[in-house]
Amino acid sequence: MKILNADLKSGEFQLVYLLYGEEGYLKRSYKRRFLEAFSEGGGMNCMVFEGKDIEEKAVIEAADTMPFFAARRLIVVEDSGWLKASTERLPAYLPSMPETTVLLFIESGVDKRNRLYQAIRKAGYACELNHPDEHALQNWAARYLATYGKKITPGTMNRFLSYVGDDMEFVKNELDKLIAYLGEEEVADVRAVDTVTSITLTSRIFELIAAITSRQTGKAMRLYEDLLALREPPMRILFLTARQYRQLLYVKELTAEGRTKGEVAKELKLPVGVVGRMETQSRSIPRAALQETVRQCAELEEKVKTGELQDRLAVEILICGAS
């Protein structure tokens, strides 16, 4: 991202850029900044193609068009699917594309063996934008609050992020709510965070499992009832709880092998911050107990699917049986 920020700041652009990955907020943010950088002339030098029905010919014709009273024009190609499929003309076209055009691809995922991906790497810059790690997210959120004159302690920030997860769009929305709630107050304290923050379903499942494993059956049942009150289907709660128990087991086993949090996160395709929480939670649960609970979850899911057991009762059995 340093290269992206430097190019946008200097106005010295490469011929082609590729933004890809799971963090939608960052992709939208960089798209907006690129469009703003080429906004001279009322946007006449910006053209956006979206979706899987884009024709290569149309993009090439747009890229060959001279800019209108400006040094360069911007062509944005978003969600084309071309970085996972075969493209006929663009890989050969990029090396000869006019220097008066900047081409920006925005995709959710790529195949690094793809010809177009390789051509973009040679002609310009490809940047993967995934959910930030815990430290980076804390810094970003603190800076965001600071732009509105608000402060937060590291401990309160950790509490806030444990509620909202690591999706930056959701985090931003929750920060905006917190800022509005604070009004003239300068410091975001625990009371403010607890009052206005929406807790993600994943965080609620973390809390539910913590109550189960610490044998707080009453608390676990209350948390379960809260989820039902939020209209979460029991089968979804069962599925997510079972998945999280499996992930806890994987994290415990991989950590025991000496893997770092980064390596575990990459293998399980989870954010590093989530792996850190799971590593902490799994320490208090014996491996055999995790294995038994994973087995029980699979058995309960099967009984619900075959109609042998009601989904709501299945979760209650899991809570009482694992605690």
Q: What is the dihedral of CA 281, 286, 290, 293, to 10 degrees?
A: -110
- How much is the mean pLDDT over the chain? 90
The residues, any chain, with a CB within 8 Å of residue 319's CB and separated by 6 or more, are 208, 212, 217, 220, 221, 224
* 138 contacts 157 by C-beta, under 8 angstroms: yes
Both tokens of 14, joined, read 């490469």
Put the strands of the sheet holding 73-78 in their side by side order: 46-50, 73-78, 101-107, 16-20, 125-128
Comparing CA positions, the residue from 104, 108, 58, 102 lying closest to residue 79 is: 108
Q: How many CA atoms lie within 13 A of 223 on its CB side?
A: 22
Q: How many CA atoms lie within 13 A of 64 on its CB side?
A: 9
pLDDT digits (tens, 9 = 90+) for 199-214: 778 788 888 998 888 8
**Position 1 pLDDT exceeds 90:** no
* 244 contacts 206 by C-beta, under 8 angstroms: yes
On the question of a common fold for 1-128 and 201-322, the answer reads no
Backbone CA torsion sign across 64, 48, 25, 7: positive
pLDDT digits (tens, 9 = 90+) for 162-197: 888 888 998 999 999 999 999 999 999 999 998 988
pLDDT band with cut points at 50, 70 and 90 for residue 323: low
Query: Using CB atoms within 10 A of its CB, is residue 141 exposed (0-12), middle (13-18) or buried (19+)?
Result: buried
pLDDT at 121: 95
* 166 contacts 132 by C-beta, under 8 angstroms: yes
Both tokens of 173, joined, read 């929305």
Whole-number Å distance between alpha carbons of 1 and 128? 8
Backbone CA torsion sign across 143, 146, 150, 152: positive
Both tokens of 123, joined, read 């002609």
Q: What is the CATH number of domain 201-322?
A: 1.20.272.10
Segment 88-110 shows an average pLDDT of 94
pLDDT at 41: 64
Whole-number Å distance between alpha carbons of 151 and 147? 10
**Position 272 pLDDT exceeds 80:** no
1-128: CATH architecture: 3-Layer(aba) Sandwich (3.40)
pLDDT band with cut points at 50, 70 and 90 for residue 308: very high
Segment 134-159 shows an average pLDDT of 92
Q: What is the dihedral of CA 123, 127, 128, 134, to 10 degrees?
A: 160
Segment 234-263 shows an average pLDDT of 92
Question: What SS3 state is found at 47?
Answer: strand
pLDDT at 322: 61
Domain boundaries, the chain: 1-128, 141-196, 201-322
pLDDT digits (tens, 9 = 90+) for 48-68: 999 999 999 999 999 999 998
